[in-house]
Amino acid sequence: MKKSVRIAVGLAVVAGVASTAGAWYTGQQLPASLASAISNANSELKTVTPGLGVDVQLELLSLETGLFSSTAHYRIKAKGDLTTAGDETKAIDDELLFVDRIEHGPFPLSRLMRLQLMPVMTKNTIELENSPLVAPWFAVTKGLSPITAQASIGYTGSVSSTLKLQAVDFNKDGASLKFSGLDINAKVGAGQQSFKVDGAMDSLVLVGNDQSQIELHGLSLLNDSTMGASGLYLGSSESQLKQVQVRLPSQPPLLINNLRQTGQLAEGKTGVFGSFTSAIGMLNVAGKDLGSLELAGSVKDLDTQALKQLSDLYKALVSHLDAADYDASNPDLNLSAEQKTQLEAIIGNLLAGKPVFALDKLALKTANGETSFNLSLGLNKPSAFDLPPDVLAMQTIASLDAQLLVSKSMIKDVVMSQAALDPSVDPAMAKQQAEQMSEMAGMMAVGTQMAAVDGDNIVARFKYAEGQVELNGRKMPLEEFMAMGMGMAGGMGGGMPPAGGMNDSAPDYSAEPAEEAASE
């Protein structure tokens, strides 16, 4: 035998022995590792689920260990009163069962077959098991596990995983569900100091036996975050849904295009700062485009240490809550006197950093105009927290800057869009009514001195700082502005019709125009 061949065989033997020894070692360490992971998972669940009114526990039911692989069975048990919409509750006592087929490292066979040569501690393949609770789900997936996941766990604690929800095509009694499936990929760094998630779904179509229909198309998810000094995950997130269609009996069809949400959070010298956006690319009703919607906000100068203290205090309080005694509609953390003092000090530290919260843009855009609103609120630490409410507000609000811009052309577009949904409306009458309403809005704004007309736009600007108000360029003490506002409210109240005397119905476009009626 040639020397090179003998060396190769020797290396193969050494590698095989090392791999076997590594697999044996992994098997020996597995029970303790699983116990620690389950304990950590339950601690995290404890900080989330009390607000839902439910206790959720992860349990290890059994573990069968071998030299190169092991099999574990888990149970997720939920018990309590689940808080639903409208603060209603629903009693639940359910469980989900999972099986985990664990290949021991450092070189699990399934990874070697894919030429994935990086050593890992385990390769896990997890599936939801059939049980009475999920039996109908298994029926529509034709016996396949509806939820499957794979995870590779590194020796540093890092995890690379994939999660898959199986596709579903189900019909019964005139109703149907067609789901393309959902795939999610995740990478978690050592010590959970970072994580990255991305996912996608092609479509979900739900049809009721009354022929109502809801369709979702083109869902994508992305999150890339790293743990910061504040104890918060910093980074970026984005979710997008390309299209939503809703068809209900006796209702005009609704179409929404390009729903998008983004978020950014970071740390700087002055603290934590971040921003978010939400947008609807187009809202369409009964085949007519109504417009687009955009919402953007931001926050800056949040004290890093105070945020970490607030997060730690919240986790400490929630971890001792009993979900059965937690009322989400009236949450009470039962703070002790010491904890109340601690919370007040933390809030004081947050305010001492002079944080600024802003609604950077709230805008509705139609074919011919755009209406927008923005607001910036700066805060201060008050001298004390037990002051009278008006004094506390004066000391806490350092500055307020707001602007409202209403496009008269957009008012016309909205009125015309409403009229277009009623085929009995005369388009000429609707157009005249729209012109009247847009001009009336401008006259009212000028008459009340709360806004001014600038070309096609009705504009209102408000600024406050250090007890002084600036309204549309006119400066005055806060007391004068409040007196003006109270006087206007009193005047408007005196001219309002009595209760029950106001007609809340939509404008009657078929009626004669006001000017023509007056001339007859």
Q: What angle do CA 314, 315, 318 make, to 5 degrees?
A: 80
Q: Which domain holds residue 436?
A: 389-493+508-519
Residue 16 in any domain: the answer is yes
DSSP 50: G
| Domain assignment of residue 463, yes or no | yes
Quote the CA–CA distance of 194 and 214 in Å, as a whole number. 36
Domain membership of residue 334 (yes or no) is no
Residues 380 and 351 sit within 8 Å (Cβ to Cβ): yes
Helix or strand holding residue 279 (H, E): strand 271-285
Which of 111, 138, 166 marks a domain boundary? 166
Count Cα atoms within 13 angstroms, Cβ side, for 510. Answer: 4
Q: How is residue 87 annotated by DSSP? A: G
CA 268 to chain centre: 24
pLDDT in tens, 434-466: 888 888 888 887 777 788 888 889 999 999 998
If one counts the domains in the chain, the total is: 2
Going from the C-alpha of 204 to that of each of 22, 138, 166, 179, the distances in angstroms are 45, 18, 12, 5
Residue 368 backbone phi and psi in degrees, to 5: -120, 0
Instruction: Give per-residue pLDDT as tens, 344-398.
Output: 999 999 999 999 999 999 999 999 999 999 999 999 999 999 899 989 988 999 9
Handedness of CA 105, 111, 117, 120 (dihedral sign): negative
| Other C-beta atoms lying within 10 Å of the C-beta of residue 205 | 16
Ranges of the chain with pLDDT below 50: 5-18, 494-520
pTM of the predicted protein model = 0.80
Q: Do the domain assignments include residue 192?
A: no
Which tokens belong to 478? Answer: 């806060």
Final residue in a domain of this structure, among 166, 198, 225:
166
Whether 291 is covered by a domain: the verdict is: no
Picking from 344, 374, 348, 351, the residue whose alpha carbon sits closest to that of residue 361 is 374
Amino acid at 308: K
H helix and E strand count, the chain:
10, 22
Answer for the pair 358, 297: CB distance below 8 angstroms, yes or no. yes
Of 112, 142, 166, the residue at which a domain comes to its end is 166
Residue 360 located in a structural domain: no
Kindly state whether residue 489 falls inside one of the protein's structural domains: yes
Longest dimension (CA), the chain: 118
Report the distance separating Cα 240 and Cα 294, nearest Å.
14
Distance from C-alpha of 484 to C-alpha of 425, rounded to nearest angstrom:
41
Written as six digits, the tokens of 123 are 């390769």
| Residues in Cβ contact with 240 at an 8 Å cutoff, skipping those fewer than 6 apart | 218, 219, 220, 258, 259, 260, 261
Burial 301-338 (b: 16+ CB within 10 A, else e): bbbbebbbbbeebeeebbeebebeebebeeeebeeeee
Neighbours of 434 (CB within 10 A): 23
Q: What is the pLDDT of residue 281?
A: 96
Position 470 in a domain? yes
The DSSP bridge pattern shows strands 468-471 and 474-477 to be antiparallel
- What distance in Å separates the CA atoms of residue 177 and residue 173, rounded to the nearest whole number? 12
d(CA 235, CA 182): 24
Q: Give buried/exposed letters for 239-278 (b at 16+ CB in 10 A, else e).
A: bbbbbbbebeeeeeeebbbebbebbebebeeebbbbbbbb
Q: What is the pLDDT of residue 261?
A: 97
Sign of CA dihedral 37, 42, 47, 49: positive
**Pair 355, 346: CB distance under 8 Å:** no
* Mean pLDDT rounded to a whole number for the chain: 83
Continuous H helices in 185-280? none
DSSP assignment of 338-396, as one string?
A: HHHHHHHHHHHHHHHT--EEEEEEEEEE-SS-EEEEEEEEEE---S-SSS-HHHHHHHH
What is the three-class DSSP state of 7? helix
Spatial distance between the Cα atoms of 252 and 137, rounded to a whole number of angstroms: 33
Rounded distance between C-alpha atoms, residue 103 and residue 126, angstroms = 11
pLDDT at 350: 94
Question: Is the omega angle on the peptide bond into residue 252 within 30 degrees of 0, that is, cis?
Answer: no
